Chain A
Amino acid sequence: MNSNPPLNAAFELASDWPQLLAEAQQLAQSFSLGGHGRRRAGPGDVFWQFRPAQAGDALRAIDWRRSARADEQFVRENEWQAAQAVQFWIDNSAAMQFSSQGESKQHRAAMIALALAILLNQAGERIGTSDGRLPPQTGRAQISALAQALARQASHDFGAPQIEGLTANSLAVFASDFFGDLAALRDTVTRAAGQQVKGVLLMVLDPQELHFPFQGRTLFESMAGSLRHESQKADDLRQPYFEALKERKAQVANLAQSLGWQFFMHSTDQPATGALLDLYHALEYRR
């Protein structure tokens, strides 16, 4: 099947990303934009405040219409709208391609990320990937490039964030199931925080991973087959599994909290808008 992996991957990409993009755009359109200025005066298009003219203000800066209503001269200031860089890392490991029903975890994560990117792009932010392959830029072409980048699939079992291209003072969105090596995750996220990067960790899980609906004698295998575990009676494993999952969630959430990041959970059987809303607001207060 994998006779020509690059070609296959290209085909899969070509087939998947326009759909991904379309879905993300649809998701983004369901969203109305709120204000997202910097809440202080600066270069921008949107009116911020009138202030009394001071010495040194250029004559053209005086707002004559406002000044005519009073004895003083006023200067019209616009809100400072600096473009923020938002960099995405969507886990594309084999585990993320798992789906018990409907779409895979990666598909869902990429869709949410893209929709977020579209919204951010509309707000004038720069978007890119954190692995350095796609530096942050604005524009529609960037969305399309991002879609291609997010739809890429890897063959290793579990992944850790890649932050090679992370620029300082930017925002980061890391989406994964976080089933991989926890130490690697802690390491990378801590390093990112060291670069004054704030961000969000989005844990995307499949319903089967949440409910563990297995019974009887079962041989569990990871997606790429690197891990396997045999159980004589899967029913008995359910409770320990729940404990383990809860613990993993708590660890990731603690990591996020300790660094001032935010942590969200999303299950692929829930509508994507919820997660999108969470992420959008989280980012909005960071900018």
Chain B
Amino acid sequence: MTFFSMIGFTAPWLLVGLFALPLLWILLRAVPPAPIRRVFPGVALLLGLNDETVQADRTPWWLLLLRALVMAGLIIGLAGPIVNPAPKGQNLSKLLVVLEGSWADASDWEAQQLAALEVVQQSGNQGRPVAFLQLTAPQKDLVFSAASEAARAIKAAEPNAWLPKRNWQGQFDSLGDFDTHWLASPIDWPGRDRLVRDLLRRGSVEVAMSRSSPIGLLPVRAAAQGIEISAVRMTAGQAQGVVVDILGLDPSGVERRLQSAETGFSAQDLRATTTVDLPLEMRNRISRLVVAGHKSAAAVRLTDDRIQRPEIAILTGETSDREGLILFAPDHYLTQALSPVADLIDGTLDDVLLANPDAIILADVAKVASKEALADWVAEGGTLLRFAGPRLAAAQFEAQTRDPLLPVKLRAGGRTVGGAMSWGAPKTLQSFEIDTPFYGLPVPDEVTVTAQVLAEPGPDLASHVIARLSDGTPLVTRRQLGQGQVVLFHVTANTEWSNLPISGLFVSMLERLSVIGSAANFEPESLAGSTWQLVQQMDGAGELRRVGDRAGIAGAELAQAAISAQTPAGLYQGQDRRWARNILSEDSQLTPARWPDEVRLLGQDQARSHRLGAWFLALALCLLIADVVASLWLSGRLRGGVLAAVTGALLTSISPENALAQMSQDRAIAASRAVVLAYVETQDARQDEISRAGLLGLSQALFQRTSIEPAPPMGLSLALDELSFFPFLYWPITLGQQALSSEELSKLNRYLKGGGMILFDTRDSDIARVGQTTKEGRVLQQLASGLNLPPLAPIAPDHVLTRSFYLLQDFPGRYPRGGIWVEAPQNSGVQVEGMPFRNLNDGVTPVVIGGNDWAAAWAVDEAGEPLLPVGRGMAGERQREIALRFGVNLIMHVLTGNYKSDQVHVPELLKRLGE
């Protein structure tokens, strides 16, 4: 492949014009630049004077060269050169555009979408029927149709957090022959080979590979002092550093970055592991881990109870009489069972309560010292686990009342079965009933019970029993107390009464009672009989979204199921546990995809063809300008002023910082000379124009109707402009919004703290519904996450915004109905009888958030006429008027604060309301 075969021309015959260049050379050479004619009376003195140097009456060679280059640039530019021209003369067969749309695509999804759109566009230009297939999307019938249909589908597609489904057998049978353009993610997935072969049978397949190299997070393990993080990558070859952000909830329930961990792949390794030291307190707060800078569901690791180590306190009755007999100690087996999975706390009950453990175990304690404190602790969500024993059996309970720290009323004395002095064999366990937490646990035959404490029969006894012996007497009883629970094992915690504590079942039971966080993890045995419901689903980019009610999934089934559309990655809620299902498992590998030889492989960059015509024309234009300057200079027309202007312009373009500084100073003066409404410039020029026109319309309305006389509005760049001159910022949220840098964030926070107001407009209230977040809404959430915003609330009907200038009930923009959010009132205020407004003496809300697209309703053109249609007919005009009134109220609120909130005005307002 030579250089020239990489360049094609749309109009190659125009290049013939290049042969005319020598002609131009000769022509220009013959004609020197014309002299400038000047009328000058002093010519009388000039007569007889001669030039010192005689210059040839010819165009200088470099000017000739310049002009020849201009012409050459024009000719080549118009001939339309293209680098990597698309091969011509292809067949017009049908084209299937395939996007995988898995998590591996999420990092460069926009690029993939654009590439797909380009392919579709080209096919559309050639008149080929196109179909679009996203491999992770729900199955639909493939239809080859016009390019616009496919383009629409591509624009709407989003990456999902699972891999494509495996089985495509027979999907393409009825479609005839077609070619395929496959925009592939870099990784391999099961079933891909077969799909490729199926497609190859239909026609040619070309594959554009994404260049991204995904990184995934493997399961997090709890380590002795913290957690162990492992990451995996697709290709080895060079060392690579990775930063993992550990996110979790802070005490106020807001998700924050707890810590950042750095790990690194050495050159040959595909895996990297690092251990992060985290205090237990922090570790228990972790909600997820994210590889910084990688937007993919695999780079996000949700955590659940598995990495948490609960704190458990074990208290026993007096053990002085049994000192030395470890195996008989009431807590020996508990300690053995719990110490690997939990942090045990020693101490007296009072000390222990201060530490606020997750569970307190009382092993054969009859008399609890500080009952009230313990009951309070349970009611706040603690789990109190009690074991019976000789002391509890011997305790005397009041006849009528139940001890609140026992789930059921106990009969004094207990009983012994199958012992040396009794009839009958030791009792075994009944299998667990369906609505108990132990349902599904296998009951081993060898577990027997020889003694127990008995519950006083009563009408509500059965509802508190969660495990029974074979004769139906309760083995474990439970009662909810506030948000916590009190559980009583009717046997001892040692082997005195039963061998339950030394069986595997005992650990499983503790796990099900969520006394221990299920460090024994989600094994099929422990999942048997449980039901899980998806509460938060991960999307392809690793963002969590709340989902509506989903059907529950059996635990065993869920454990087997791969991550798919039916069982997506995300957080599942069990009875009292959460289960995070992630993309990668312990032994996952990211394998690069390999393609069969029949497939035509394109690098994504290579595939794109560049049109160079515009560049050549621009070059020709620049040279032309140079030619003008040079000609002026030659003929003496380039006088001081022109020269200064030209060099000034050149210098300005060379040193933009100076020009910027100068400009910003001019702007600062303009902005501080009068009230100036400002808008934040977006990536979208059209939106900027609407914002400007909108604020211009609002400024005009303010000028005409109020004593505020604003200067023309300004657009602001957050990075460059000083904000403090502007009392009010209008910020339309667009999808292209870049994340804010820390300087911009601190600038904005300073602005808000200093009394500025920002009106965020998501412009989506035509499609936004309660409980749903639009794309713009998500962008806004991301933006606002870094801002110090007070709590927000939907605007109250008596908020000062409703009456700061006009009396308003709603706040329409181009969309009539969307509500707005403002700072929540600090003190809710009490409504006085007869007064229509509460006395909310709060300040100016720093933000107003809504989606009614106000700027579009306010926008006027240069002549002051409305720019965009609002609503329909007179109702629409009325809506525009109300929108303007909202704007007036808003600016009034910004500039006068809660002046109108003052009760002084109430009588007058009342009178007017009455009219």
Residue numbers of A with Cβ under 8 A of B are 94-96, 98, 158, 177, 179-180, 206, 208-209, 212-223, 227-234, 236-237, 240-241, 244-245, 248
Known contacts: A217-B35, A221-B37, A233-B55. The answer to whether A158 contacts B46 by CB under 8 A is no
Q: Which of A216, A218, A241 contacts B49 (CB 8 A)?
A: A241
A244 and B46 within 8 A (CB): yes
Instruction: Kindly list chain B residues whose C-beta atoms are within 8 Å of the C-beta of A180.
Output: 44
Instruction: Kindly list chain B residues whose C-beta atoms are within 8 Å of the C-beta of A218.
Output: 35-38, 636
**Residues 8-49 (chain B) with a chain A CB within 8 angstroms:** 32-33, 35-47, 49
Known contacts: A215-B636, A218-B35, A244-B46. The answer to whether A208 contacts B40 by CB under 8 A is yes
Q: Can you list 9 A-B pairs, Cβ within 8 angstroms, ordered by A? A: A98-B39, A98-B41, A180-B44, A208-B40, A209-B40, A212-B42, A218-B35, A222-B39, A236-B53
The residue on A at minimum CB distance from B632 is A216
Task: Please tell me if B54 contacts chain A, counting CB pairs below 8 Å.
Answer: yes
Known contacts: A216-B634, A216-B636. The answer to whether A223 contacts B41 by CB under 8 A is yes
A206 and B36 within 8 A (CB): no
Instruction: Kindly list chain A residues whose C-beta atoms are within 8 Å of the C-beta of B37.
Output: 218-219, 221
Task: Please tell me if B587 contacts chain A, counting CB pairs below 8 Å.
Answer: no
Shortest distance between the CB of A241 and any CB in chain B (Å): 6
Distance, CA A231 to CA B51, complexed state (A): 6
Q: Interface digits, B614-656 against A, CB 8 Å rule (1 contact, 0 not)?
A: 0000000000000000000111111100000000000000000
Interface size on B, residues (CB 8 A): 29
Task: Please tell me if B862 contacts chain A, counting CB pairs below 8 Å.
Answer: no
Instruction: Kindly list chain B residues whose C-beta atoms are within 8 Å of the C-beta of A209.
Output: 40-42
B54 and A232 within 8 A (CB): yes
Shortest distance between the CB of B54 and any CB in chain A (Å): 6
Task: Please tell me if B52 contacts chain A, counting CB pairs below 8 Å.
Answer: yes
A177 and B41 within 8 A (CB): yes
Instruction: Kindly list chain B residues whose C-beta atoms are within 8 Å of the C-beta of A212.
Output: 42
Residue in B33, B47, B49 whose Cβ sees the most chain A Cβ within 10 Å:
B49
B45 and A221 within 8 A (CB): no
Distance, CA A191 to CA B47, complexed state (A): 28
**Residues 45-75 (chain B) with a chain A CB within 8 angstroms:** 45-47, 49, 51-55, 57
Instruction: Kindly list chain B residues whose C-beta atoms are within 8 Å of the C-beta of A214.
Output: 38, 40, 636
Distance, CA A232 to CA B635, complexed state (A): 9
Instruction: Kindly list chain B residues whose C-beta atoms are within 8 Å of the C-beta of A158.
Output: 41, 44
A217 and B38 within 8 A (CB): no
Instruction: Kindly list chain A residues whose C-beta atoms are within 8 Å of the C-beta of B51.
Output: 231-233, 236-237
Distance, CA A179 to CA B44, complexed state (A): 6
Known contacts: A179-B45, A214-B636, A244-B45. The answer to whether A232 contacts B55 by CB under 8 A is yes
A233 and B39 within 8 A (CB): no
Known contacts: A216-B635, A232-B54, A232-B55. The answer to whether A222 contacts B45 by CB under 8 A is no
The residue on B at minimum CB distance from A105 is B41
Instruction: Kindly list chain B residues whose C-beta atoms are within 8 Å of the C-beta of A94.
Output: 41
A217 and B45 within 8 A (CB): no
B41 and A95 within 8 A (CB): yes
Distance, CA A233 to CA B35, complexed state (A): 10
B46 and A237 within 8 A (CB): yes
Known contacts: A232-B54, A232-B55. The answer to whether A221 contacts B46 by CB under 8 A is no
The residue on A at minimum CB distance from B56 is A232
B636 and A244 within 8 A (CB): no
Distance, CA A98 to CA B39, complexed state (A): 8
Shortest distance between the CB of B643 and any CB in chain A (Å): 11
Shortest distance between the CB of A84 and any CB in chain B (Å): 33
Shortest distance between the CB of B518 and any CB in chain A (Å): 91
The residue on A at minimum CB distance from B33 is A217
Distance, CA A208 to CA B45, complexed state (A): 13
Shortest distance between the CB of A212 and any CB in chain B (Å): 7
Distance, CA A215 to CA B37, complexed state (A): 12
A227 and B43 within 8 A (CB): yes
The residue on A at minimum CB distance from B49 is A240
B46 and A229 within 8 A (CB): yes
Distance, CA A256 to CA B49, complexed state (A): 27
Distance, CA A218 to CA B44, complexed state (A): 15
The residue on B at minimum CB distance from A247 is B45
Instruction: Kindly list chain B residues whose C-beta atoms are within 8 Å of the C-beta of A236.
Output: 51-53
Given contacts A206-B41, A209-B40, A217-B55, 18 further A-B contacts (CB under 8 A): A158-B44, A179-B45, A208-B42, A212-B42, A216-B633, A216-B636, A218-B38, A220-B42, A220-B43, A221-B40, A223-B39, A228-B43, A230-B35, A232-B54, A236-B52, A237-B46, A241-B45, A241-B49
Instruction: Kindly list chain A residues whose C-beta atoms are within 8 Å of the C-beta of B53.
Output: 232-233, 236
Instruction: Kindly list chain A residues whose C-beta atoms are within 8 Å of the C-beta of B46.
Output: 220, 229, 231, 237, 241, 244
Instruction: Kindly list chain B residues whose C-beta atoms are within 8 Å of the C-beta of A177.
Output: 41
Instruction: Kindly list chain B residues whose C-beta atoms are within 8 Å of the C-beta of A96.
Output: 41
Distance, CA A223 to CA B32, complexed state (A): 26
Distance, CA A158 to CA B610, complexed state (A): 68
Which are the 10 A-B pairs with shortest beta-carbon distances?
Answer: A216-B636, A95-B41, A215-B636, A244-B45, A236-B52, A217-B35, A220-B43, A179-B44, A232-B55, A240-B49
Shortest distance between the CB of A228 and any CB in chain B (Å): 7
Distance, CA A248 to CA B45, complexed state (A): 8
Distance, CA A269 to CA B54, complexed state (A): 34
B42 and A217 within 8 A (CB): no
Instruction: Kindly list chain A residues whose C-beta atoms are within 8 Å of the C-beta of B633.
Output: 216
Shortest distance between the CB of A151 and any CB in chain B (Å): 19
The residue on B at minimum CB distance from A228 is B43
Shortest distance between the CB of A39 and any CB in chain B (Å): 42
The residue on B at minimum CB distance from A100 is B40
Q: Which of B42, B55, B57 contacts A179 (CB 8 A)?
A: B42
Q: Which of A206, A220, A241, A244 contacts B38 (CB 8 A)?
A: A220
Shortest distance between the CB of A201 and any CB in chain B (Å): 17
Distance, CA A108 to CA B535, complexed state (A): 95
Instruction: Kindly list chain B residues whose C-beta atoms are within 8 Å of the C-beta of A215.
Output: 636, 638-639
Shortest distance between the CB of B443 and any CB in chain A (Å): 110
The residue on B at minimum CB distance from A216 is B636
Q: Which of B40, B52, B55, B637 contacts A220 (CB 8 A)?
A: B40
Shortest distance between the CB of B433 and any CB in chain A (Å): 108
Instruction: Kindly list chain A residues whose C-beta atoms are within 8 Å of the C-beta of B47.
Output: 227, 229
Instruction: Kindly list chain B residues whose C-beta atoms are within 8 Å of the C-beta of A206.
Output: 41
Distance, CA A95 to CA B43, complexed state (A): 10
Shortest distance between the CB of A182 and any CB in chain B (Å): 10
B42 and A234 within 8 A (CB): no
Known contacts: A229-B47, A241-B46, A245-B45. The answer to whether A219 contacts B52 by CB under 8 A is no
B35 and A179 within 8 A (CB): no
Instruction: Kindly list chain A residues whose C-beta atoms are within 8 Å of the C-beta of B43.
Output: 220-222, 227-229
B42 and A241 within 8 A (CB): yes
Instruction: Kindly list chain A residues whose C-beta atoms are within 8 Å of the C-beta of B54.
Output: 232
Distance, CA A236 to CA B54, complexed state (A): 10
Distance, CA A131 to CA B747, complexed state (A): 82
Shortest distance between the CB of A171 and any CB in chain B (Å): 28
Shortest distance between the CB of A181 and any CB in chain B (Å): 9
Distance, CA A158 to CA B47, complexed state (A): 14
Instruction: Kindly list chain B residues whose C-beta atoms are within 8 Å of the C-beta of A244.
Output: 45-46, 49
The residue on B at minimum CB distance from A242 is B45
Shortest distance between the CB of B267 and any CB in chain A (Å): 66
Distance, CA A221 to CA B51, complexed state (A): 16
Distance, CA A240 to CA B636, complexed state (A): 18
The residue on B at minimum CB distance from A208 is B40
Distance, CA A214 to CA B37, complexed state (A): 11
Instruction: Kindly list chain A residues whose C-beta atoms are within 8 Å of the C-beta of B635.
Output: 216-217
B38 and A222 within 8 A (CB): no
Distance, CA A35 to CA B44, complexed state (A): 42
Distance, CA A46 to CA B39, complexed state (A): 53
Known contacts: A232-B54, A233-B53, A236-B53. The answer to whether A245 contacts B636 by CB under 8 A is no
Shortest distance between the CB of B876 and any CB in chain A (Å): 59
Instruction: Kindly list chain A residues whose C-beta atoms are within 8 Å of the C-beta of B639.
Output: 213, 215
Distance, CA A264 to CA B638, complexed state (A): 35
Instruction: Kindly list chain B residues whose C-beta atoms are within 8 Å of the C-beta of A221.
Output: 37-40, 43
Instruction: Kindly list chain B residues whose C-beta atoms are within 8 Å of the C-beta of A245.
Output: 42, 45
Distance, CA A194 to CA B32, complexed state (A): 56
Instruction: Kindly list chain A residues whose C-beta atoms are within 8 Å of the C-beta of B55.
Output: 217, 232-233
